[in-house]
Amino acid sequence: MDRFDALQLFTKIVELGSFTEAAGVLNIPRATATHAIKALENRLGARLLDRTTRQVKPTLDGQAFYERSKRVLAELEDAETSLSTQVANPHGTLRLDLHGAHASAIILPRIGEFKQRYPHINFAISSGDRLVDLVKEGIDCVVRAGEPRDSSLVVRRLAQMPQIICASPEYLAQYGTPTLPQDLAAHQGIGFFSKGSDHRYPFELIIGDQVAEFHTQGWMSVSDADCYLSAALAGCGLIQLPRFRLEEHLNAGSLVQVLADWPSPQMPVCALYPFHRQLSPRVRVFIDWADEVYREKFRDDGQRVIG
């Protein structure tokens, strides 16, 4: 293993905290990884990693060497990406994590266009609502709805998605239709919470020029967007979602918008990626393409997008 490959392996072990996981990401045998790190430590004359049965951590020397190694690898990648052939014809595997609705309704229906434009880029796509560790899981980019919370990531806003509050006709027939925002307090709302937290998000409406929160009663909370929608269709209560997710059901009459005189705050959708991936041509061209797709999607729907 040459010095460049050894640096890549070492930084990946530090980031993942595991020889086995790092070897898997780099597609090399575990034994090769162990031998390469021993050879690196012998060449440097310093122990770089503390190994236990549960995890691997850098020593003080190892942490300092890791920081220097990251800079060296970033500069090398910068040099490679400055070549016109790589910038004009990016290649490799792009690892994405997409929220289910954005994957199935927006990105995947048009992914063939991207492949035609960049034929040497392949995809490995995971999907779901869960939080992901981009560095640990080797993911290049995620697309997520909502306000970004991880300040360690680079954020590219793709669009602002209008939201509405709605419920099934069966629910409204049983509980009545709210006509004022204050009426929400007497209604059943389906709760939505983040995994790993018991915080239940309130309904939000714009009153004048301020965003006001309204809490409802309710006997069900979910942490998955598909379950949230399914519960509303089953008559379990009110929900608040981006309108594009609901058009099919609104047109079919299986959901009915309420409180239309008070707009809901728009929900941002963003592409997020680690700082060390911002120079990657395949990440850059994907995000530029996704920006085009979201702008066209929401402009065609007559909805406002942001730059």
| pLDDT confidence of residue 61 | 94
Q: Is the pLDDT of residue 116 over 70?
A: yes
Read off the CATH number of the domain in which 95 is found: 3.40.190.10
Tally of structural domains, the chain: 3
Residue 220 is given by DSSP the state -
Is 305 part of a structural domain of the chain?
no
By CB atoms closer than 10 A (0-12, 13-18, 19+), residue 214 is: buried
Domain end position, chosen among 61, 81, 101: 81
Lowest mean pLDDT among 2-11, 59-68, 296-305: 296-305
Beta bridge partners of 210: 207
pLDDT in tens, 168-227: 999 999 999 999 999 999 999 999 887 655 567 899 999 998 999 999 999 999 988 889
* Mean pLDDT, range 109-124, rounded to an integer: 94
Element containing residue 272 per DSSP (H, E): strand 267-274
Is 306 part of a structural domain of the chain?
no
Is 60 part of a structural domain of the chain?
yes
pTM score of the predicted model: 0.69
Domain end position, chosen among 81, 107, 133: 81
Q: Is the pLDDT of residue 307 over 70?
A: no
pLDDT in tens, 51-106: 887 789 999 999 999 988 887 886 676 566 556 555 668 888 888 999 878 888 99
Are the CB atoms for 42 and 35 separated by under 8 Å? no
Q: What tokens does 262 get?
A: 């008070």
Query: Are 146 and 179 found together in one domain?
Result: no
Q: Is the pLDDT of residue 259 over 90?
A: yes
| pLDDT confidence of residue 236 | 97
Quick one: which of 135, 172, 142, 78 has its CA closest to 286?
142
Q: Which domain holds residue 217?
A: 163-258
Cβ count near 279 (within 10 Å): 16
